[in-house]
Amino acid sequence: MAARIGNHRPSAPSAAFWGACLYFLVLLSASAQTAEQLQAEMKRMEAGAGFATDTAYLNLANELGFILAESSPDSAVSYLDLQLQRCREARYEKGEAEALKIYGNALQNKGDFRGSISYYSEALEIAKRLDGEKLVPGILNNIGLVNYNLGNYAEALNSFYEAIKGADLTKDANVKAAALNNVALIYFEQDKLEEAKEKYREMLAIYQETGNKGRVILAYNNIGDVELKQNKPLEALKNLQVAYQSATELNSPEFVEMTSRTLADIYAALDSADRAEELYLQSIALSRENGYGVPYAHSLIGLAELYYQKGELQQATDLAKEGLAQAETMAQPMQMRNANELLSRIYEDQGDFQAALRSFQLFKFYNDSINTSHSQRLTATLEAEYEFSKKEMEYERASSRQRWIIFSACAGLLAFLIILFVEYRNKKNLDKAYHSLQDKNNEIASKNEALEKALSQLKAAQAQLIQAEKMASLGELTAGIAHEIQNPLNFVTNFSQLSAELIQELSEERAKKPEEQDPDLLDEILSDLQLNLGKINQHGKRADSIVKGMLEHSRASTGEKVQTDIKSLINECLRLSFHGLRARDKSFSADFSTEVEPDLPQAQLVPQDISRLLLNLLNNAFYACANADFRKENPDLKPLVTVSASCIAKGSPKARLKISVTDNGPGIPPEIIDKIFQPFFTTKPTGHGTGLGLSLSYDIAKAHGGELTVQSVPGEFTTFTVFLPV
Amino acid sequence: MKILFVDDERDVEDLFRQKFRKEIRSGKLELAFAFSGQEALELLSTDNPPKFVYVFSDINMPGMSGLELLEEIKSRFPLIQVSMISAYGDQENYDKAMSSGAKGFFTKPVDFDSLKKEISSLIEDRD
């Protein structure tokens, strides 16, 4: 029974008391000045004229009033009467509201809840008129506390809720924390201990953030209270050791009293009677000294219980009676119930059953009234809670709506910025792409130009190469040409000489007498003369043809196709080639033969091109089979070049002229036979061939709509065949 | 006296027949013509010993060249005299011909006088 009472008792009064204290601490921490300092400051100001209407002075006076209201509420009352009068005379409304509220604090600390609430109401009325309503949340919180102490839980909760809302608006973290503390009190009352602890922890977080040591102590104290009620005295002890230690360091009577009282309850629960006694005594001393009514009653009754446990009944009786008297002054049914319950046990033990019965009846009465009022409170609380949560939800909805609007605006702005950024990037990318395209276009244009230039240069180079090749082959041919001109010239010379001699002879013969003349000889001479003139003419034409051919060869091709006698073209080329090689290489020796089909049709072609083609093929053929190295290696082989010409598919539109040049040289190795028509490919030593002969020959055949092919068996023969349209 | 001319140009025949008409008529000179080295060797081989005493040969001919023919004649018919008639009167050909045993070296166009002198001296030697 004792344990139940002990466990049950301390929480509500201590929390209620310290809830009321909160407001004072706000100012105390803000000014951080002691009563002595304030009094000195005020005295200094009182020396000046009109100090009573100076707001700075009145503010200081209020601060002092605060300290007095908490430390000695009795003396505070008369002090505050004067302060109120001064503020009214000075028409300083803020100061007046402040003074009224402090008056309410003092009365509440004295236990005059009804008196305090009228002062608070008056203060609230003025505070609401003031700009910013900064005083309102604090006053509401204090009104809530009074209502709580009076058992008006619904009104209390409403006030606390209004206080939290107001504190959020005015960004008053301290008042918010105080109101949270008081909401936690109501959870405590309802045995919602975990929820209560959670609110206390929220409060603790705020205080730790604002760095207020006093209220950190309060938070630890209240959390310990809850844990004690949860029957977790060891956990409670940890929190209270922190709180008591801090309170001692802070050297604040209020906090030392509070923590010592709670710690005493914990030790009592842990059966550490000595420590509990010591701490109760500390609490009683401080409460008596500073006029803390409710704590005084609490600790007296707690200590009485300890002495009863120890069997010291007289001391227990005295303390319990004193506690009961104090509780009656404070109109505290809980303490009165606890005191009567203890007294009835004591009287019973002492054998005074009449007194025991009286006390028990009183205990029963207060217990019932507490239970009744408790259940009434609970009902009211539940209703209030419903209203409260509704309001809370409205508030949250409103603030969440506001938050939603702000969030939407921010999101919209962000989206707009993102779109703007994306657009900007897109534009930049487009610009970049456009510029790089332009650059590429320019690059392509300039490359094109360069390519065209290179192409025209290549064409010029090719033309030069062709010309060079012509000149080179002309050089090769020079000796042959010389021979071929020399020979007819020789005949012209010799036949003309002979003819002159014949005419001389003829004259001599005719100078003879007619009978001596030899008519056969004359006939013979005349016919020879005729023959010779024919020969001269024939060889003159032959030389002429050679010279013309040479000129044509060196000239750039006109590309004009003319009817050409293939047989004579072949013979001319063959002789040119043979004698050309022979002239350049004295050791050169080769045979050639031609197999030309009779009635070979004339062909429409560019003679100088085809003769160049044939000369190339013939020169190659003679070179292949009759060059010095090859002959040295094959001394028994008779170099032979055979040229054959025929017409295939005669009479049909597909009729083709087929000219083959075959040599019995070493043949062409299969690995290079594919390359021989490529420009600049040559097997001759450097400086002995341009490598363009066969390439140009191939081009000539193609340009005539014909073909140039090659067949070769290494060690046997090589045949180049050109097919030309008839 | 039988003389052989070797040249791939057939008109040479007319040239020399006219030139030595009198000698031919008088029977002092008999001319034969071959148009390649091979043909010349065949002609020379028809009689044994050959009736030809002198061979005039061109150098630049397809197949067997005049110089090759010279060497062949000199090895097979050492008694037959051989002279070269070439369009190319260069030193190399000349040296080659002479070292191979040629009697004379004539350049084209043929200087009939010197040729006639050569043949005349030949005839006189025989006479």
Residue B78 tokens read as 């050492």
pTM greater than 0.90: no
Amino acid at position B54, single letter: Y
Decide if A234 contacts A228 (C-beta within 8 A). Answer: no
Structural domains of chain B sorted by starting position, each given as residue range(s) with its CATH number in brackets: 2-126 (3.40.50.2300)
Among candidate residues A149, A237, A142, A131, the one with its CA nearest the CA of residue A186: A149
Residue carrying structure tokens 């706000």: A26
Strand partners, A56: none
Give A 510-539 residues with CB within 8 A of chain B: 524, 528, 531-532, 535, 539
**What's the CA gap between B15 and A502, in Å, rounded?**
12
Residue carrying structure tokens 């301390």: A10
DSSP A690-713: -S-HHHHHHHHHHHTT-EEEEEEE
**Angle, CA of A352, A355 and A356, to the nearest 5°:** 80
Q: Is the pLDDT of residue A91 over 70?
A: yes
Helix axes A353-511, A153-170, angle to 10 degrees: 30
The model's pLDDT over A197-252, given as tens digits with 9 standing for 90+, comes to: 988 998 899 988 888 888 899 899 999 999 999 999 999 999 999 999 999 998 88
The model's pLDDT over A108-165, given as tens digits with 9 standing for 90+, comes to: 888 888 889 999 999 999 998 888 788 899 899 999 888 888 877 778 878 888 888 8
Nearest chain A residue (CA) to B20: A498
A contacts of B69 (beta carbons < 8 Å): none
Smallest Cβ–Cβ distance between B87 and the set A487, A495, A592 belongs to A487
Nearest chain B residue (CA) to A505: B22
A contacts of B21 (beta carbons < 8 Å): 524, 528
Decide if A546 contacts A485 (C-beta within 8 A). Answer: yes
**What's the CA gap between A186 and A180, in Å, rounded?**
10
Low-confidence ranges of chain B (pLDDT < 50): none
Decide if A81 contacts A118 (C-beta within 8 A). Answer: no
Amino acid at position A596, single letter: V
**What's the CA gap between A8 and B65, in Å, rounded?**
150
Residue carrying structure tokens 């070296």: B105
Query: Which of A185-189, A376-380, A618-622, B91-95 is modeled with the greatest confidence?
Result: A618-622
The model's pLDDT over A471-502, given as tens digits with 9 standing for 90+, comes to: 777 776 777 777 778 888 989 999 999 999 99
Query: Does residue A480 sit in helix, strand or coil?
Result: helix
**What's the CA gap between B97 and B103, in Å, rounded?**
9
The model's pLDDT over A4-32, given as tens digits with 9 standing for 90+, comes to: 222 222 233 333 344 333 433 343 343 44
Core vs surface per residue A250-285: b (16+ CB within 10 A) or e: eebbbbbbbbbbbbbbbbbbeebeeebbebbebbbe
Count A/B contacts: CB-CB distance under 8 Å. Answer: 60
What sign does the CA torsion over A669, A670, A671, A676 have?
A: positive
Among candidate residues A150, A197, A207, the one with its CA nearest the CA of residue A176: A207
Q: Mean pLDDT lowest for which of A53-67, A555-569, B80-94?
A: A555-569
Decide if A188 contacts A196 (C-beta within 8 A). Answer: yes
Decide if A217 contacts A243 (C-beta within 8 A). Answer: yes
Interface test with A, best of B5, B12, B15, B17 (most A CBs within 10 A): B15
Strand partners, A718: A663, A712
Residue carrying structure tokens 């001919």: B61
A528–B18 CB contact, under 8 Å: yes
